[in-house]
Amino acid sequence: MMKVIILAAGRGKRLGHYTKETPKPLIDINGKSIIERQIELFKKNGITEIFVVRGYKKEKFCLDGVTFIDNENFANNNQLASLVLAQNRISGNVLILFGDLIFEQPILDQILMSNSDISIAIDLKWKEHYDENRNNQFPAMAEIENDKVVRISENKSLIRKKLCGEFFGIIKLSSEGSKILTDVIEKTKYNKGKFHDSNSFAMGKIPDIIEEVIELGFIVQPIFVNGKWFEVDTILDLEKAKTLFRQI
């Protein structure tokens, strides 16, 4: 059985007035919120054990058939702190993903086909939808060698001229992969100093823990996906998402 952990604690300040009273994952996209679209797709595929880490305006999350995990200190931490709160749920086959992603069935199909212990969704065609004038930060890029992720970073200067693609926020773990990740989290979660691209573990992002896993010698394999997906970070992203994704 597959379980899902959705990291949805942040506010999404770059969405301006849209998130003044509404958490980013609950923003409406043509009649359904981002996270509702995710949950419906998972349930359609028989994945019903779903955990949502919420934080900003947590009382607004009124979702049936999910288990909530509360990040009470969301304003002072980041993705990895939310992941720590869900650490005891990381066992068996698990998907971990961001709560601001919209994607369709073909993307999920390709991810579920992976048999690797630790694998991450990668889009090699990232340049087609990356707009340097629109995006406020460089995406998390994964460098690939011999069908393995050898480096992942949001630091543009670290990207060398190798096969690379955008990691857009979905991790798939086998039972063994779950053990590896939880062990790495346990060993690093008390880190007070700089943690890869972030100033500390608590302020760290998912690419930071993936980079740690790689540096410790574990294999992270890419899942090269083709299909429609979108991460909603800004008002322009929201407008684009509404043109790309209709009612489902």
Q: How far is Cα 63 from Cα 32, in angstroms, rounded to an integer?
A: 12
Calpha distance 10→229 (Å, rounded): 20
What is the per-residue pLDDT for 136? 56
Q: What pLDDT does 166 receive?
A: 93
Residue 179: closest CA among 207, 213, 151, 222: 213
CA 205 – CA 139 distance, rounded (Å): 12
Q: What is the pLDDT of residue 126?
A: 81
pTM of the model: 0.95
| 158 C-beta neighbours (distance < 10 Å), count | 14
Q: Point out the residues of the chain with pLDDT beneath 70.
A: 129-137, 157-161, 247-248
Q: What is the CA radius of gyration of the chain?
A: 17
Helix (H) or strand (E) holding 241: helix 235-244
139's tokens: 């995406």
- SS3 of 169, please? strand
pLDDT at res. 138: 73
Domains of the chain: 2-244 (3.90.550.10)
